[in-house]
Amino acid sequence: MTKRAGYYWFLSFIRLRDDIVNYLVSADNFPPVQALFLSEPQVKFRKLYSLNPSHLTKFSNSEGAWATMRQLNPSLPSITVSGLRKTSEQYTDRTLKNGLITAEKAQHNWGTYRRNYAAGNPQGAKENFSAALDTLMNQGIATRALSERVKVADELGIDLRGSDEGVDLLLNGLGCRSQEPPTDIELRFIKKQKRFGRTPKACADFSHCVECSKSCVVETLESVWLLLSFRHAIEYGKPLYIGSVNAVERYETLLLKIDLRLGLVDEAILKKARVKLQREGVAPVWQI
């Protein structure tokens, strides 16, 4: 069987698994059925456990469910996380037929190798698999038409726009609907500045823009380049957050929210902005 066939078999298997478990329960048969992701004492609670491919291809027990399975003589494929991930990537390539995604994947470096191919501990493997699924989802969204991505952004509570018309472009690359009444975030910033004897005409708390309901993502080359530059400046200042749990959580949350917004941007524009960042460097305002 091919890896793709194994992938679809796995999906079908998961759908049928409960029926198989119910049959074993009704037959009063509680062996450690590893091919069903069951092992003692987890079998009684029907919890999943990590798959051992060798248990999918042979049945050595002579009693109970194993004897029945051996008589049926099924052909069961071995399944690995890396196989599932690569099969999903290939399926995405064939379906989307997006040259930019293919070109992006071709830019391999040591970090790419270590992240996707090198052997690691089980926790690292789970994180890699989760990251791969996130990448597939983001690539699928980024290749849609603007109108479709706007709908996805609305569901996430994000204002996505194809131009900066009607909004003010901020130094961090995000747009601001400044004509609307001030939000709590803006009022807190202005109040804080007044304590220091300053009278700002507008909010300049750029690190809180992702929390502000007036902010929006502007899908232009210049704005995306500024947002990438802002993200780079935050990463460069990571040592400033070390030592405080709350500060580290704030740092990680900010990066995640920026990445979420970048994932909604058209793939072609994001690619050009990254090239601009590589060639011209970080925007002058964010150079440290």
pLDDT in tens, 30-77: 555 555 554 444 444 444 444 444 444 444 444 556 666 666 666 555
Residue 108 or 16, more confident: 16
pLDDT-derived band at 229, boundaries 50, 70, 90: very high
pLDDT of the residue at 133: 55
pLDDT of residue 201: 76
Q: What pLDDT does 46 receive?
A: 43
The pLDDT score that the predictor gives to residue 217 is: 94
156 and 61 assigned to the same domain:
no
Q: Of 12-26, 37-51, 185-199, 216-230, which one has max mean pLDDT?
A: 216-230
- Whole-number percent of the chain with pLDDT over 90: 11
Confidence of residue 260 (pLDDT cuts 50, 70, 90): confident
Answer yes or no: do 287 and 166 share one domain.
yes
Site of tokens 């996505």: 160
264 in any annotated domain:
yes
Domain containing residue 253: 145-288
Distance CA 280, CA 276 (A): 6
246 vs 80: CA distance, rounded Å: 37
How far apart, in whole angstroms, are the C-alpha atoms of residue 133 and residue 139? 10
Going by pLDDT thresholds of 50, 70 and 90, the confidence category of residue 130 is low
For 160-193, b where at least 16 C-beta lie within 10 A, e where not — what string? bbeeeeebeebebbbbbeeeeeebebbeebbeee
23 is a domain residue: yes
Residue 106: inside a domain = no
Q: What separation in angstroms does the CA of 284 have from each of 225, 226, 287?
A: 11, 10, 5
Answer whether residue 90 shows pLDDT above 70: no
Lowest mean pLDDT among 112-121, 187-196, 224-233, 276-285: 112-121
CA 85 to chain centre: 13
Q: Answer yes or no: is 12 within a domain.
A: yes
The answer to whether position 93 is within a domain reads: no
The number of distinct structural domains making up the chain is 2
Average pLDDT, the chain: 71
Q: Is residue 25 part of a domain?
A: yes
Residue by residue, DSSP assigns 166-191 as TSEEPTTSEEE-TTSPPPHHHHHHHH
Specify the pLDDT at position 241.
52
pLDDT for 105 equals 57
Helix (H) or strand (E) segment spanning residue 133: helix 122-142
Residue ranges of E strands in 146-282: 160-161, 168-169, 174-176, 215-218
Pairing label, strands 160-161, 215-218? parallel
Q: Which residue has the higher pLDDT, 58 or 125?
A: 125
Q: Using the 3D structure, point to which of 14, 43, 72 is the last residue of a domain.
A: 72
Write down the pLDDT at residue 218: 94
Listed in sequence order, the residues at least 6 apart from 44 whose beta carbon sits closer than 8 Å to its beta carbon are: 30
| Same-domain pairing of 287 and 153 | yes
Residues 159 and 267 in one domain: yes
Verify that 63 and 152 share a domain, yes or no.
no
Q: Nearest 5°: CA angle at 260, between 254 and 265?
A: 130
* Domain end marker among 30, 50, 72: 72
**287 shares a domain with 167:** yes
Secondary structure of residue 23 in the 3-state scheme: helix
Considering the domain boundaries, does residue 34 fall inside one? yes
What is the rounded CA–CA span in Å between residue 190 and residue 187? 5
More confidently predicted of 171 and 87: 171
Average pLDDT over residues 142-165: 84
Q: Which residues contact 173 (CB under 8 A, 6 or more apart)?
A: 218, 223, 224, 225, 226, 227, 228, 229, 230
Last residue within a domain, chosen from 45, 72, 99? 72
In a domain, 200, yes or no: yes
